[in-house]
Structure 1
Amino acid sequence: MNILTLSIKQKYFDEILSGKKDFERREIKPSNVENYVSFIVDGKEYEREEDIPDGDSEVMVKAKSYDKLKLVTGEYKGKRPYLIVEVKDARVEFLYDENGDFIIGMEKGKEYALAYIIFELGNIVETFKDEK
């Protein structure tokens, strides 16, 4: 079982719990890219961008496969409320400018193509809400 744990704001936590929201979207940045995607070059899959051999080959990005998301909310102390929800699908969406070129972001001096991972959510399989 492959589960990814993410922190989430209370508003979105409640929307998922009530069924109003059926997806979770996260920006893919250099600091979190390994959580969300793997890289495919010449038919070989790489977990880390640093492992891709130098060359002129085209690099493809593939959403990592997760069975479930554990979505945690609340203060970073004690036992926090959470949901465990099935992942029906995951996809990567890049952002493009009006010319069809990647929109470029910057994090800690490193440029990257702006992209999001979109998790399509299924059934909620477990919940924990600390009722005080």
Structure 2
Amino acid sequence: MKILTLIIQQKWFDEIIKGKKKQEFRELRPRSEKKYIEYQEDGTFDAIKFDAIRFYVGYNKNRDTALVEIKNISFLDFVDENNEIIVLKDLKTGEEYDKMNIVYDLGKVLEVNGVSQ
């Protein structure tokens, strides 16, 4: 099983465990996109295929965790009032990139390990 690990806040963790939060969104930025996408030789990209997400609440050693199935992965472009994709510039590198989220549709909660349970 290929697992993506993500840090989230307690309130979102609780919503996922209760089945109320059905999607997890992550903004694709030049410095973090390698965690989520892979580029093809022709310059196009696709989502890295993960089977599940291991959610961690915060950065403490003693924290809640959950393993949650991924049902689907898609992309969400941000557009302006003219329906054109919003382009941003990385402040550190000056590199331009499209404002976009990767969207993980969540399925079954496979495992929960909690300190606040």
Relative to the length of structure 2, the TM-score reads 0.88
Cα 1:130–1:96, aligned 2, differ >3 Å: closer, same or farther? same
Matched to 1:7, the amino acid is: I
Alignment of 1:91-110 (within 5 A): 91-107=74-90, 108=92, 109-110=94-95
Question: Could you say which residue in structure 1 is the equivalent of 2:105?
Answer: 120
Show the counterpart of 2:51.
67
Which segments of structure 1 move beyond 4 Å, counting only runs of 4 or more?
none
> Unaligned stretches of 5+ in structure 1?
43-58
Asked if the contact 1:83/1:128 (under 8 Å) is kept, the reply is: yes
Q: What is the alpha-carbon distance in structure 1 between the residues aligned to residue 22 and residue 116 of structure 2?
A: 24
1:62 touches 1:92 (CA, 8 Å); kept in 2? no
% identical aligned pairs: 36
Tell me what 2:11 maps to: 11
Deviation of residue 81 (structure 1)? 0.8
Q: CA RMSD in A?
A: 1.7
The alignment of Structure 1 onto Structure 2 pairs a total of residues equal to 115
Seen in structure 2, the aligned counterparts of structure 1 residues 22 and 64 have a Cα distance that, compared at 3 Å, is same
> C-alpha separation between the residues in 2 aligned to 1:121 and 1:20?
10
Partner of 2:33: 33
Distance of aligned partners of 1:99 and 1:126 in 2 relative to their CA distance in 1, 3 Å threshold? same
| Structure 1 residue 131 displacement after superposition | 4.2
SS of residue matched to 2:44: strand
Tell me what 1:45 maps to: none
Q: Deviations over 1:107-130 (max 9, x none)?
A: 222221100000000101111111
State the SS of the aligned residue for 1:14: helix
| Distance in 2 separating the partners of 1:7 and 1:101 | 31
Separation in structure 2 between the aligned mates of residue 130 and residue 95 of structure 1, nearest angstrom: 37
Structure 2: gaps of 5 or more residues: none
* Structure having the higher Rg: 1
Verify: 1:2 aligned to 2:8, yes or no. no
